[in-house]
Amino acid sequence: MPYWFFQWVAPRAFVSFDDMVDRLAREMSGFETAVLIPEPEGDCNYLALIAGWSESRQKPEIYTLSGSEGRHHPEKLVLCDARRFFAVGPRAEPPAELMAFLRAAKQGSEPEPTFEAETHADPYFEAMRRNVSSGFSVIGGFLEEVVISPQGATSRIVKQWPDKIGEKINA
Protein backbone atom coordinates (compact mmCIF):
# COMPACT_ATOMS: atom_id res chain seq x y z
CA MET A 1 0.00 0.00 0.00
CA PRO A 2 1.19 3.55 -0.63
CA TYR A 3 2.71 5.64 2.16
CA TRP A 4 -0.43 7.78 2.44
CA PHE A 5 -2.39 4.75 3.61
CA PHE A 6 -0.11 4.54 6.65
CA GLN A 7 -0.42 8.29 7.22
CA TRP A 8 -4.19 7.85 7.19
CA VAL A 9 -4.28 4.80 9.48
CA ALA A 10 -1.63 5.92 12.03
CA PRO A 11 -3.86 8.25 14.11
CA ARG A 12 -6.47 5.51 14.50
CA ALA A 13 -4.28 4.01 17.25
CA PHE A 14 -5.17 0.34 17.35
CA VAL A 15 -4.26 -0.81 20.85
CA SER A 16 -3.84 -4.48 19.94
CA PHE A 17 -4.11 -6.91 17.07
CA ASP A 18 -7.61 -7.89 18.27
CA ASP A 19 -8.65 -4.21 18.34
CA MET A 20 -7.37 -3.78 14.79
CA VAL A 21 -9.30 -6.85 13.62
CA ASP A 22 -12.47 -5.58 15.30
CA ARG A 23 -12.24 -2.04 13.85
CA LEU A 24 -10.27 -2.17 10.61
CA ALA A 25 -13.08 -3.06 8.19
CA ARG A 26 -15.16 -0.09 9.43
CA GLU A 27 -12.11 2.17 9.27
CA MET A 28 -11.32 1.00 5.72
CA SER A 29 -14.81 2.01 4.63
CA GLY A 30 -13.92 5.53 5.75
CA PHE A 31 -10.58 5.28 3.94
CA GLU A 32 -12.34 4.40 0.69
CA THR A 33 -14.80 7.27 1.09
CA ALA A 34 -12.26 9.88 2.21
CA VAL A 35 -9.19 8.91 0.19
CA LEU A 36 -9.83 6.52 -2.69
CA ILE A 37 -13.21 7.49 -4.15
CA PRO A 38 -12.41 11.24 -4.49
CA GLU A 39 -9.34 10.33 -6.58
CA PRO A 40 -9.83 10.75 -10.34
CA GLU A 41 -9.47 7.02 -10.88
CA GLY A 42 -12.07 6.33 -8.20
CA ASP A 43 -10.82 2.74 -8.07
CA CYS A 44 -10.83 0.81 -4.83
CA ASN A 45 -8.55 -1.98 -6.02
CA TYR A 46 -6.50 -3.19 -3.07
CA LEU A 47 -5.64 -6.32 -1.13
CA ALA A 48 -4.39 -6.02 2.42
CA LEU A 49 -3.13 -9.00 4.42
CA ILE A 50 -3.16 -8.54 8.18
CA ALA A 51 -1.46 -11.14 10.34
CA GLY A 52 -0.85 -11.31 14.06
CA TRP A 53 -1.41 -13.11 17.33
CA SER A 54 -4.91 -12.91 18.78
CA GLU A 55 -4.70 -12.66 22.57
CA SER A 56 -8.44 -13.24 22.94
CA ARG A 57 -8.41 -16.38 20.77
CA GLN A 58 -4.86 -17.49 21.64
CA LYS A 59 -3.83 -18.31 18.09
CA PRO A 60 -2.22 -16.81 15.02
CA GLU A 61 -4.64 -15.31 12.50
CA ILE A 62 -4.47 -13.98 8.98
CA TYR A 63 -7.15 -11.70 7.58
CA THR A 64 -7.67 -10.34 4.11
CA LEU A 65 -9.35 -7.07 3.33
CA SER A 66 -9.98 -6.12 -0.26
CA GLY A 67 -11.87 -3.78 -2.47
CA SER A 68 -12.27 -3.51 -6.18
CA GLU A 69 -13.87 -1.22 -8.69
CA GLY A 70 -17.60 -1.23 -8.07
CA ARG A 71 -17.24 -3.00 -4.71
CA HIS A 72 -16.63 -0.27 -2.17
CA HIS A 73 -17.06 -0.16 1.58
CA PRO A 74 -16.02 -3.59 2.85
CA GLU A 75 -18.22 -4.72 5.67
CA LYS A 76 -15.92 -7.29 7.23
CA LEU A 77 -12.51 -8.82 7.26
CA VAL A 78 -12.22 -12.35 5.88
CA LEU A 79 -10.44 -14.76 8.22
CA CYS A 80 -7.98 -17.28 6.79
CA ASP A 81 -6.88 -20.04 9.16
CA ALA A 82 -3.23 -19.26 9.92
CA ARG A 83 -2.63 -22.74 11.30
CA ARG A 84 -2.72 -24.07 7.79
CA PHE A 85 -1.23 -22.44 4.70
CA PHE A 86 -1.84 -19.10 3.04
CA ALA A 87 -0.38 -18.09 -0.31
CA VAL A 88 -0.88 -15.11 -2.58
CA GLY A 89 -0.31 -15.57 -6.29
CA PRO A 90 -1.62 -17.35 -9.35
CA ARG A 91 -3.22 -20.68 -8.66
CA ALA A 92 -1.44 -23.90 -9.49
CA GLU A 93 -1.97 -27.57 -8.75
CA PRO A 94 -0.79 -28.07 -5.14
CA PRO A 95 1.91 -30.75 -4.76
CA ALA A 96 0.98 -33.99 -2.97
CA GLU A 97 3.04 -33.09 0.13
CA LEU A 98 1.16 -29.82 0.58
CA MET A 99 -2.22 -31.50 0.08
CA ALA A 100 -1.34 -34.17 2.68
CA PHE A 101 -0.34 -31.44 5.15
CA LEU A 102 -3.56 -29.46 4.53
CA ARG A 103 -5.73 -32.57 4.94
CA ALA A 104 -4.03 -33.50 8.21
CA ALA A 105 -4.32 -29.91 9.51
CA LYS A 106 -7.99 -29.70 8.55
CA GLN A 107 -8.81 -33.01 10.23
CA GLY A 108 -7.12 -31.90 13.44
CA SER A 109 -4.62 -34.77 13.39
CA GLU A 110 -2.71 -35.45 16.59
CA PRO A 111 0.01 -34.55 16.87
CA GLU A 112 -0.65 -31.39 14.87
CA PRO A 113 1.22 -31.64 11.55
CA THR A 114 4.38 -29.58 11.28
CA PHE A 115 4.65 -27.18 8.38
CA GLU A 116 8.01 -27.22 6.60
CA ALA A 117 8.44 -24.45 4.04
CA GLU A 118 10.98 -26.34 1.95
CA THR A 119 8.68 -29.40 1.72
CA HIS A 120 5.25 -27.77 1.59
CA ALA A 121 5.62 -24.24 0.18
CA ASP A 122 8.65 -24.34 -2.11
CA PRO A 123 7.21 -26.88 -4.61
CA TYR A 124 3.89 -24.98 -4.67
CA PHE A 125 5.55 -21.63 -5.38
CA GLU A 126 7.70 -23.24 -8.07
CA ALA A 127 4.47 -24.48 -9.71
CA MET A 128 2.93 -21.00 -9.39
CA ARG A 129 6.12 -19.50 -10.84
CA ARG A 130 5.75 -21.70 -13.94
CA ASN A 131 2.08 -20.67 -14.32
CA VAL A 132 2.22 -18.10 -17.10
CA SER A 133 -1.52 -18.07 -17.86
CA SER A 134 -1.46 -14.27 -17.68
CA GLY A 135 1.31 -14.19 -20.29
CA PHE A 136 4.10 -13.86 -17.76
CA SER A 137 5.24 -15.25 -14.40
CA VAL A 138 4.31 -13.21 -11.34
CA ILE A 139 6.18 -15.23 -8.70
CA GLY A 140 9.77 -14.15 -8.34
CA GLY A 141 12.46 -12.59 -6.22
CA PHE A 142 12.21 -14.68 -3.09
CA LEU A 143 9.97 -16.95 -1.03
CA GLU A 144 9.55 -15.77 2.56
CA GLU A 145 8.16 -17.75 5.48
CA VAL A 146 6.54 -15.77 8.30
CA VAL A 147 5.76 -17.50 11.61
CA ILE A 148 3.43 -15.80 14.09
CA SER A 149 3.54 -16.67 17.79
CA PRO A 150 2.59 -15.01 21.10
CA GLN A 151 6.17 -13.65 21.23
CA GLY A 152 5.86 -11.90 17.86
CA ALA A 153 6.57 -12.63 14.21
CA THR A 154 9.72 -14.06 12.70
CA SER A 155 10.55 -14.39 9.05
CA ARG A 156 13.18 -16.02 6.92
CA ILE A 157 13.97 -16.26 3.24
CA VAL A 158 13.29 -19.84 2.17
CA LYS A 159 14.46 -19.43 -1.41
CA GLN A 160 15.79 -16.73 -3.71
CA TRP A 161 15.49 -16.73 -7.49
CA PRO A 162 18.03 -14.95 -9.71
CA ASP A 163 15.40 -12.55 -11.06
CA LYS A 164 16.22 -8.97 -11.98
CA ILE A 165 13.77 -6.10 -11.59
CA GLY A 166 12.42 -5.02 -14.96
CA GLU A 167 13.44 -8.21 -16.73
CA LYS A 168 11.11 -11.04 -17.70
CA ILE A 169 11.24 -14.00 -15.33
CA ASN A 170 12.67 -17.07 -17.01
CA ALA A 171 10.61 -19.68 -15.22
Q: What share of the chain is helix, strand, coil (3-state, %, to 5)?
A: 35, 25, 45
Residues 6+ apart with CB under 8 A from 77: 21, 24, 25, 50, 63, 64, 65
80 by Cβ neighbours in 10 Å (0-12 / 13-18 / 19+) ranks as middle
Question: For the chain, which residues make up each domain, given as ranges?
Answer: 3-81, 96-160
Q: Per residue of the chain (171 residues), give pLDDT as tens.
A: 555 666 666 667 788 889 888 887 777 666 666 665 555 554 556 667 788 899 998 988 888 776 655 544 455 556 665 555 677 667 788 889 888 888 888 887 788 888 899 999 999 998 888 877 767 777 888 999 988 889 988 999 999 998 888 787 765
Classify the C-alpha dihedral 119-124-127-128 as positive or negative: negative
Q: Are 48 and 66 in contact (CB under 8 A)?
A: yes
Q: Can you give the pLDDT at residue 56?
A: 93
CB count within 10 Å of CB 79 equals: 12
Quote the CA–CA distance of 141 and 131 in Å, as a whole number.
Answer: 15
Sequence-ordered alpha helix ranges (H) in 10-120: 17-31, 96-107
First-to-last C-alpha distance (Å) of the chain: 27
Residue 171, pLDDT score:
59
